[in-house]
Copies of this chain bind each other. A is one copy, B any other.
């Protein structure tokens, strides 16, 4: 598939500062537009309007709509992981690390509701040209990460017996679902939901 950055403006050596700024500005505007009007109604015209630039600037800096939206997702993902990683690493027990994983993830997205909404829309809609789903890899990585913690917890006799990958998948989907129900209706009290969710999962995995 195309390289990690995909598209480059013609006749370029390496990304100038102004170039990077423009790209970031456009990606940010794109996220806002997606969150506001939804994936299907997101167009270059709307993104350009939101960013206060002309449509053709977008075509100049990016290879296409897909590239921009992919960046919306991956940048948020990366920043999210930066927030989560140290908090997970600080915990010693498996249950503690799972709790840290979920808690810090909820924490991070709580502070980035609009971007989370955009990310959900994009992940739900982005497909390859063959109709296959993109982002399976990102999700799989997350599932793997949690599965590993769970397996370790079982080896240590800390957690009860269950299929670690199956449960990890369930946990990932749970957290995402709770976040979505909050993102779609900000009336929801996410802190309280988080507490319920952590308790729910504690019992589910038999953390003692």
User: A1-38 vs B: 1/0 string, CB under 8 Å?
Assistant: 00000000011000000000000000000000000111
| Copies per complex of this chain | 4
**Once bound together, how far apart are the Cα atoms of A169 and B185, in whole Å?**
13
* B40 touching A162, Cβ below 8 Å: no
Among B55, B139, B206, point to the contact of A10 (Cβ < 8 A).
B55
| A127-B38 CB under 8 A given contacts A170-B200, A184-B136, A196-B163 | yes
Which of A97-153 touch B at CB < 8 Å? 120-121, 124-125, 127, 131, 133, 136, 139
A131 touching B38, Cβ below 8 Å: yes
* A133 to B184 Cα, complex, angstroms: 7
- B184:A166 contact, CB within 8 angstroms: no
**Complex partner residue of A206 from B121, B167, B184, B203, CB under 8 angstroms:** B203
- Is B177's CB under 8 angstroms from A131's CB? no
Contact in complex: A177, B176 (CB < 8 Å): yes
Chain A contact residues, majority secondary structure: helix
Tell me the smallest distance from the CB of A146 to a CB of chain B, in Å: 13
Count of chain A residues with a beta carbon within 8 Å of a chain B beta carbon: 50
Q: A199: CB under 8 A from chain B?
A: yes
Q: In the complex, what residue of chain B is closest to A160 when comparing beta carbons?
A: B203
* Distance (whole angstroms) from the CB of A49 to the closest CB of chain B: 7
A74 beta carbon closer than 8 Å to chain B: no
Please name the residue on chain B nearest to A143 by beta carbon.
B181
Instruction: List A residues at the B interface (Cβ < 8 Å).
Output: 10-11, 36-40, 45, 48-49, 53-55, 120-121, 124-125, 127, 131, 133, 136, 139, 160, 162-163, 166-167, 169-170, 172-174, 176-178, 180-181, 184-185, 192-193, 196-197, 199-201, 203-206
The 25 listed contacts between A and B (C-beta, < 8 Å) are A10-B49, A11-B48, A11-B49, A11-B55, A36-B131, A39-B125, A40-B40, A40-B125, A120-B124, A124-B125, A133-B184, A136-B185, A139-B181, A160-B203, A163-B196, A166-B192, A167-B196, A170-B177, A170-B178, A170-B196, A170-B197, A173-B181, A200-B204, A203-B203, A203-B204
